[in-house]
Structure 1
Amino acid sequence: MKKRTIGILASILCIGLVACANDGYVERKNFGALYEPLDRVLHGGGQDPAGFLEYADALGEDRYPVLWMTYIGLEHPPEHILDWGKGVKRDLDAIGRDDLMPQIGLSMTGGNDDGSGLDALVARGDYDAQIEAFCEALAFIGRDSFVRIGYEFEGSWNNYSEAGFVGSWKRITTAMRERDLPVATVWCSGGGSAGPRPIEELMAFYPGDEWVDWWGVDVFSPGEIGMDWITDFCELSGEHGKPVMLGEVTPRHVGVLDGQKDWDEWFGPFFERIRSQPEIKAFCYINWEWDYWSRKLGFQWHDWGDARLQMNETVLEAYRMELDRSLYEHSE
């Protein structure tokens, strides 16, 4: 298993500064967070095994993603969570890349009769068996991983409370740390999809710097990309000494089928945001045909568009060229 460590040598920094100047992006801020790359941005995709493979195959060997997206919820029985872990290990082993890192969305929703979040129940210990199963699954997977606990925590669809979310976060994180699992926690906001909520309100959900390794935010519709809110969020993350992961990104209501028009509307501004925001150190692209998944899973995603890069050569080639920049870190 490959570990990413940060060694700050003067010669490497000099080379990095030259590369930044020649490659059109702002030099990254480095905070020394767990699994944080030095001067680069981790590249990931998903968000199901088949979608990941289609995405990786479309991009080519030299741009193979290093982050692999997956999801599980504490609302499931422990045996289901253990089976999920076995499936993740099976899928990752089949790919055959030892440096491929799971990026896991861990939810706490859907278990109450009224549809409310389980965060308060998790915080008081009612779901300790599920937490134990999740930890066992992580140990079985046996890879350096990111876990977005209660991702999009402020979103109304999750029904999390500030106290319940913070308590559940600490309980889950304590369990992972007691087992010395190779996991970085990501405090991931819903961003524009959740309002966006004023950042001072957002901080009521913050467990504290000692409990969090990375900050995160999800980015979907075109109007979200240029929001001052994201700038403020990223700058505040830097003040807390945390790199930012764009945990879920997809061109919602745009897609790829109109080629250059779609690139200009979503992809171009999105990558410009990454290049110009020095706190951003990771992103994960959802390579889905959203109407299909809406019908399959029963969500209202019917008009989100076809985001599969392989469906439009203009978008795909421009995307490949973007990822050829020295800024991005791929699987080796």
Structure 2
Amino acid sequence: MKIVNLYSTLFFAFFISCSSINKNQVVKVNSSNKTSSKFEPNDDDCLVFIGQDLEAIGGLDNYSKGYCDTFEMPAGITLYTGFTPNKESYGYFQKGNDGLKSIVNWGAGDTCLQCILDDDDFKNTMISIGLSMVDNEKKVALGEHDDLIRELGTWIKNSKRPVFLRIGYEFDGWSWNHYKKKYYLEAWKRIHTKFKEMNVANVAFVWQSKGNGSNQQVLDDWYPGDEFVDWCAYSYFDNPDTEMLTFARKHQKPVFIAEATPTLSIDGLYFNSRLDNPKVAYEAWEKWFTPFFKTINDNKDVIKAFSYINANWSKQPMWITNSVFQQVDSRIQISDSISKKWKEELMNPRYLKASPSLFEKLEN
């Protein structure tokens, strides 16, 4: 999800269709020689997250038809905020840290991180926060948004649970995020430094690529550095790319598939992915879900978390004219066949969900 609109969907579709995969070049890291990262689960375990708006997540009094009303409570939920004051998005004018303490909607569904903390049903779940800095990375880097950094750091610290912070997620989404590398990297390091000064110990710093079109040189150029990054991450739509997996193995970092939803395409043209249609659901399972889980299971040494976007994209203003997502309704619960197969896959004990002992299973 992007807090701002995708300005050039044709450009996005081009990158989605240009994956450079060579599995023969992937060299897995010997886990016995690897130092665990912040909140990394043990051995082959994989954390299950669900996002990316309140209706999609469910499990709340006023949002009771989502994922958490149908399936086991996930290990974590994914929501968004931003250091983007005064930016307008679908009629909503941002103030900074929007959606952190109250319900807001900037065109992609209601979001509210505090709502999750306030509901006892979510007491054993972690949180993944997508933090946008679009058009503000220079201000963050120069200290002009230190008040927002402190507000977010205080909120995370008071949450008293593991929080995964994806600073400037999809940094290489050139056509919709258009970050400037110099200030992006300086902003990342400033946030990290400020949090350290505040003793915010319950946060893992997650560095997320869009997941396609960026080779090892691009990733090297945009990498904040091992001392500033706990997890590498990427988005998985129609792109089983391995560039980030290769990069993460080189740097001995776990990987978080931080955004994933079934998009189906032929030669870069996207079509119906509404899972309430049995024929579409069958095709989606064969062409998207099966390769998705195969990617996770073939790379147990490095992929340690994923977040599935369980949303009706086609009804949200941000996406109704977007060529990639305008025909996507990825809610698993609207398909009996996918619900059944999803439950069967997640019965594997390696997929970690919410439990009273979950936090104890993670590297601190």
TM-score, length of structure 1 as denominator length? 0.80
Q: Return the alpha-carbon distance in structure 1 between the equivalents of residues 328 and 55 of structure 2.
A: 18
Q: Where do 1:3-18 residues align within 5 Å?
A: none
Evaluate the alpha carbon distance shift between residue 127 and residue 266 of structure 1 in structure 2; reply closer, same or farther with a 3 A threshold. Answer: same
- One-letter code of the match for 2:101? G
Partner of 1:114: none
Matched, 1:236 2:241: no
Q: Deviations over 1:267-320 (max 9, x none)?
A: 011000000012100000000111112x26776255341101011111111011
Deviation of the 1:205 alpha carbon: 1.0
Distance 1:259 1:325 in 2: 22
- The answer as to 2:310 corresponding to 1:292 is no
Aligned counterpart, 1:187 = 207
**Structure 2 matches for 1:296-307, cutoff 5 A?**
300=322, 302-307=325-330
Asked if structure 2 preserves the Cα contact closer than 8 Å seen for 1:105 and 1:150, the reply is yes
CA 1:82–1:271: 2 relative to 1, 3 Å: closer
- From the superposition, tell whether residues 255 and 267 of structure 1 become closer, same or farther in structure 2 (CA, over 3 Å): farther
- Contact (CA 8 Å) 1:85, 1:138: kept in 2 or not? no
1:197 to 214, 221, 228: 214
Query: Structure 2: which 5+ residue stretches go unaligned?
Result: 1-27, 59-65, 87-93, 103-111, 265-272, 356-364
Counterpart of 1:267 in structure 2: which amino acid? F
Question: Would the aligned equivalents of 2:80 and 2:99 in 1 still touch at CA under 8 Å?
Answer: no
SS at match of 2:122: coil
Is the 2:56–2:312 Cα contact (8 Å) retained in structure 1?
Answer: no
Specify the code of the residue in structure 2 equivalent to 1:134: L
Query: Contact between 2:274 and 2:327, CA under 8 Å: does it hold in 1?
Result: yes
Q: How do 1:273-284 residues align onto structure 2 when only pairs under 5 Å count?
A: 273-277=295-299, 278-284=301-307
Distance across 2 between alignment mates of 1:31 and 1:307? 36
Equivalence for 2:166: 148
* Greater alpha carbon shift after TM alignment, 138-147 vs 201-210: 138-147
Alpha-carbon spacing, 1:27–1:118, altered in 2? closer, same or farther (3 Å): closer
Aligned to 1:172: 191
After superposition, the C-alpha distances for 1:177-199 in whole angstroms (9 at most, x for unaligned) are: 2112110000100112xxx1222
| Alignment pair present for 1:84 and 2:117 | no
Counterpart for residue 259 of structure 1: 281
Write the distance in 2 (CA, Å) between the matches of 1:280 and 1:302. Answer: 25
**2:76 corresponding residue in structure 1:** 67
Of 38, 56, 79, the residue aligned with 1:34 is 38
Structure 2 vs 1, CA of residues 184 and 171 (structure 1 numbering), >3 Å: closer, same or farther?
Answer: same
- CA deviation vs aligned residue, 1:139-177 (integer Å, no higher than 9, x gap): 333321000000000111111122111100000111112
- SS at 1:242's partner residue? coil
Change in CA separation of 1:75 and 1:268 when aligned onto 2, cut-off 3 Å: same
Distance in 2 (CA, whole Å) between partners of 1:190 and 1:98 is 30
How far off is 1:209 after superposition?
0.1
Q: How big is the shift at 1:81?
A: 2.4
1 or 2, which has the higher helix percentage?
A: 1
Q: Partner of 2:51 in structure 1? A: 46
Secondary structure at the aligned position of 1:211 is classed as: coil
Judge conservation of contact 2:79–2:130 (CA < 8 Å) in 1: yes
Q: Contact conserved, 2:313 with 2:319, CA < 8 A, in 1?
A: no
Equivalent residues in 2 for 1:100-179 (5 A)?
100-109=125-134, 117-156=135-174, 157-179=176-198
TM-score between the two structures when normalised by the length of structure 2: 0.73
Provide Cα deviations, 1:48-68, integer angstroms capped at 9, x if missing partner: 122112112222x3xx20111
Choose from 261, 269, 285 the match for 1:250. Answer: 261
Q: How far apart are residue 330 of structure 1 and its match?
A: 0.7
Equivalence for 1:317: 340
The residue that corresponds to 1:99 in the other structure is: 124
Amino acid at match of 2:97: I
State the identity %.
31
Is the CA contact (8 Å cut-off) linking 1:82 and 1:136 kept in structure 2?
no
Residues 70-109 of structure 1: per-residue CA shift (max 9 Å, x gap): 1000013797528623642333331433321110000001
* Shift in CA distance, 302/207, structure 1 to aligned 2, threshold 3 Å: closer
Structure 1 unmatched runs, 5+:
1-25, 110-116
Distance 1:322 1:159 in 2: 37
Aligned length: 287
Matched AA of 2:168: G
